[in-house]
Amino acid sequence: METVSMLIHVGNRQLNLKVPAADQENILKAEKLLNDKIAALRKSYAVNDNQDILAMCAFSIAGELISQQASGKKSENTRMEKLESLDALLNGFLAPGVV
């Protein structure tokens, strides 16, 4: 697997990363997401400590991820229920002796 070296900036830190070439675009998107979130938190809260801001950022993004996963599971359950209902309807319609 081909890797590339990247220099990214998160908050006030520079990070040298070696990542799979295929992940390079996602790493840049993550860098922007983190820096945007950090800027928003700095603007909303009177917190100057970088570790506190990074921890708040991590909790915020983790909370968003958990919410998305929960809504994804609900959507998947709803789709399964609809498919099962459709399957039962079709089985009833296609059952021998039903015309």
98: pLDDT strictly greater than 60: no
For residue 93, pLDDT beyond 90: no
Is 35 inside any structural domain? yes
The phi, psi pair for 96, rounded to 5°, reads -60, 140
Q: What's the pTM?
A: 0.67
Q: Which domain holds residue 31?
A: 3-94
Nearest 5 degrees, angle CA 38-CA 52-CA 43?
40
Give the C-alpha separation, 44 to 21, whole Å: 36
Q: Total domain count for the chain?
A: 1
Q: Which of 16-20, 28-32, 72-76 has the lowest mean pLDDT?
A: 72-76
Question: pLDDT (tens digit, 9 = 90+) per residue, 34-55?
Answer: 999 999 999 999 888 888 988 8
Q: Given a cut of 90, is residue 82 above it in pLDDT?
A: no
Please indicate, yes or no, if residue 90 is contained in any of the structural domains: yes
Tell me whether residue 67 is in a domain: yes
Residue 20 falls within a domain, yes or no? yes
Residue 5's H or E segment, with its range, is: strand 3-10
Flag whether 99 is in a domain: no
Q: How far is CA 16 from CA 27, 38, 85, in A?
A: 12, 20, 52
Give the chain's mean pLDDT.
85
Assess if residue 84 is contained within a domain: yes
